[in-house]
Amino acid sequence: MAEDDVTIIGGGIVGLATAHALLRADPGKRITVLEKESAVGSHQTGRNSGVLHSGLYYPPGSAKARFARAGAEEMYRFCAEHGVPVRRLGKLVVATRAEQLPRLAELARRGAANGVRLSELDGSGIAEREPRVRGLRALLVPDAGITDFGAVSRVLADLLAERGVAVRRGTELVAARRDGDGLVLTTTTGEVRTRLAVNCAGLHSDTVAELAGTRPAARILPFRGEYYETTAAAHELVRALVYPVPDPAFPFLGVHFTRMIDGGLHVGPNAVPALAREGYDWRTWSGPHLRRLLGDPGLRSLAKRYWRTGAAEIARSAAKPLFVRAARELLPALRGADLVPAAAGVRAQAVRPDGTLVDDFLVHEDERWIHVLNAPSPAATASLRIGADIAERVTAHLG
Ligand SMILES: Cc1cc2nc3c(=O)[nH]c(=O)nc-3n(C[C@H](O)[C@H](O)[C@H](O)COP(=O)(O)OP(=O)(O)OC[C@H]3O[C@@H](n4cnc5c(N)ncnc54)[C@H](O)[C@@H]3O)c2cc1C
């Protein structure tokens, strides 16, 4: 059996960007990517808002803050170079009520500390950029933009294949064992021998860590994000990207308006617990997943802390008029008839045993494995930077 230097589990944007960075550092490296689906980017990477975030929200000094800003610029360059559609549209974060103004000011301070270009707008400034949006004050972030991260992942996979990397689709990792100074990985299409493995399995990253013999510091709690899209007649209600002021107690960004790269306008996502790791609707559930959720004390404490926000999100998921009412806070002209359901995504959010959500990206290393245990938004924006960071860790391991 031939031996790889590095085998990457997961053909999402993080796994593919890691392979890309490894190859740039050393074109001679033998690399394989294992992807269980028949296409790359089938889960989080292909089911998101497509926004290039600019580093506004994240605590200064965090990996999210550092990687989002640099990663977004690298992603703009990558898309331009490889013909992936991308637009630097700019976004508004809009306060609609006086009590949100201190939080907006705090966001402005954070953004400035993170080196994000931004300016403040009053009501008439908002009306100039987004005539239908209602707000008291807003932050304008000109460097936020949009792309199609699924398309980026397909380009990455093609570049890898051209340079001799095997991207093995339809190949799921099911077991792993140490063998001498390397690993033997058992997959649904045969065994792979490798010196080092990198776990970029997204929604399954904790179970892959377990399968590798590591007790992960955090478990994945899948949160579904549901979207509506506007009918063609309502596409122009919003010109670019419009966000509410986020709730600091909740890591997701609130229902926002996103101009998509194909010209459509998406409203959402919300954040409701998914009943399976790949539970893209309420009908998809998994017994083992639900038993784990109910039996896990950390997850119970999380539910206790967030039950009010969670109940409101579930109500908005079940009743469209409630969702429309929330969206009308920013866009009073929006009507229920303007919205039709669109495909949902599921976020892989890591939760610690004490029930706190892991805020930053989280990577765990041991002798033969590097595990990416938390790579939620803005990991698609930051993927090329995250890939470069993991490639440096691989080099430190392999010498
Ligand atoms: C609703 C939603 C909106 C978002 N909006 C944005 C946004 O606007 N901007 C942004 O930057 N980020 C956004 N994100 C986050 C972003 O999509 C993710 O951070 C990013 O896609 C993570 O990529 P990944 O490669 O880690 O995971 P994934 O794309 O989920 O890839 C993991 C891959 O591993 C494979 N896999 C799992 N287990 C195995 C196994 N045992 N063997 C082989 N393969 C396996 C899976 O099939 C999958 O393809 C959003 C996410 C969601 C869900």
The domain limits of the chain are 1-86+144-218+360-399, 91-142, 219-357
- Whether the per-residue pLDDT at 317 is higher than 90: the answer is yes
CA of 219 to the centre of ligand 1 (A): 15
Q: Which residues contact 316 (CB under 8 A, 6 or more apart)?
A: 255, 270, 322, 323, 326
Q: Residue count of the chain, please give it.
A: 399
> Out of 1.10.600, 2.40.160, 2.60.120, 3.30.9, which CATH number does the structure's domain 219-357 have?
3.30.9
Report the alpha-carbon distance of residue 243 to residue 126 in Å, rounded.
12
pLDDT of residue 294: 84
**Ligand 1 pocket member 204 (CB < 6 A):** yes
Confidence of residue 251 (pLDDT cuts 50, 70, 90): low
Q: How many CB atoms lie within 10 A of CB 369?
A: 20
Q: Mean per-residue pLDDT for 275-286? A: 97
pLDDT of residue 309: 85
- Whether the per-residue pLDDT at 139 is higher than 70: the answer is yes
**Ligand 1 pocket member 12 (CB < 6 A):** yes
Confidence of residue 299 (pLDDT cuts 50, 70, 90): confident
pLDDT of residue 297: 81
The conformation of residue 177, written as its DSSP 8-state character, comes to E
**Ligand 1 pocket member 15 (CB < 6 A):** yes
Contact between 344 and 276 (Cβ < 8 Å): no
Q: Which residue has the tokens 């021998």?
A: 193
pLDDT of residue 111: 95
**Ligand 1 pocket member 150 (CB < 6 A):** no
- Whether the per-residue pLDDT at 250 is higher than 80: the answer is no
pLDDT digits (tens, 9 = 90+) for 85-123: 999 999 999 999 999 999 999 999 999 999 999 999 999
* Amino acid (one-letter) located at 10: G
pLDDT of residue 103: 94
β-pairing verdict for 219-230 and 272-273 = antiparallel
Report the alpha-carbon distance of residue 194 to residue 2 in Å, rounded.
9
pLDDT digits (tens, 9 = 90+) for 154-196: 999 999 999 999 999 999 999 999 999 999 999 999 999 999 9
pLDDT digits (tens, 9 = 90+) for 338-392: 999 999 999 999 999 898 999 999 999 999 999 999 999 999 999 999 999 999 9
Burial of 58 (0-12, 13-18, 19+ CB in 10 A): buried
Look up residue 303 and give its two tokens: 């539910």
**Ligand 1 pocket member 8 (CB < 6 A):** no
Q: Which of 7, 38, 43 to mutate to test the pocket of ligand 1 (most atoms within 8 A of CB)?
A: 43
**Ligand 1 pocket member 108 (CB < 6 A):** no
- Whether the per-residue pLDDT at 296 is higher than 70: the answer is yes
**Ligand 1 pocket member 185 (CB < 6 A):** no
Cα 40 to Cα 68, 78, 202, 382, distances in angstroms: 22, 18, 13, 18
**Ligand 1 pocket member 222 (CB < 6 A):** no
CATH code reported for the domain at 1-86+144-218+360-399: 3.50.50.60
Q: Which of 65, 132, 135 is nearest to 94 (CA)?
A: 135
Q: Which of 44, 153, 187 to mutate to test the pocket of ligand 1 (most atoms within 8 A of CB)?
A: 44
pLDDT digits (tens, 9 = 90+) for 197-240: 999 999 999 999 999 999 998 999 999 999 999 999 999 999 99
Alpha-carbon dihedral angle through residues 154, 156, 158, 164, given to the nearest 10 degrees: -150
Topology agreement, domain 1-86+144-218+360-399 and domain 219-357: no
Q: Mean per-residue pLDDT for 63-80? A: 97
- Which atom of ligand 1 is found nearest the CA of 187? 42
Confidence of residue 62 (pLDDT cuts 50, 70, 90): very high
pLDDT of residue 253: 64
